[in-house]
Amino acid sequence: MKRIFALLLLLWAFATTATAQESIRVRIRTEVGNIDIELYPARAPGTVENFLRYVDGGFYEGGRFHRTVKLDNQPNNDVLIEVIQAGVNPDRRWEGFDPIPLERTNVTGLRHEDGAISMARGGPDSARSDIFICIEDQPSLDFGGDRNADGQGFAAFGKVVDGMDVVRAIQAAPADAQSLTPPVGIISIERLQ
Judge whether residue 12 has pLDDT over 80: no
The stretch 167-193 carries a mean pLDDT of: 97
Q: How many residues does the chain have?
A: 193
pLDDT tens per residue across span 47-104: 999 999 999 999 999 999 999 999 999 999 999 999 999 999 999 989 999 999 999 9
pLDDT of residue 2: 52
Residue 4: band (very low, low, confident or very high) from pLDDT cuts 50, 70, 90 = very low
pLDDT, the chain, mean: 91
Counts of helices then strands in the chain (DSSP H, E): 4, 9
pLDDT of residue 6: 39
Mean pLDDT calculated for residue range 113-134: 97
- 3-class DSSP state for residue 133? strand
Q: What is the percent of the chain with per-residue pLDDT over 70, rounded to a whole number?
A: 89
- For the segment 135-155, the average pLDDT, to the nearest whole number, is 97
The pLDDT of residue 193? 75
In degrees, rounded to 5, the angle at the alpha carbon of residue 162 between the alpha carbons of residues 32 and 168 is 50
Write down the pTM of the prediction: 0.89
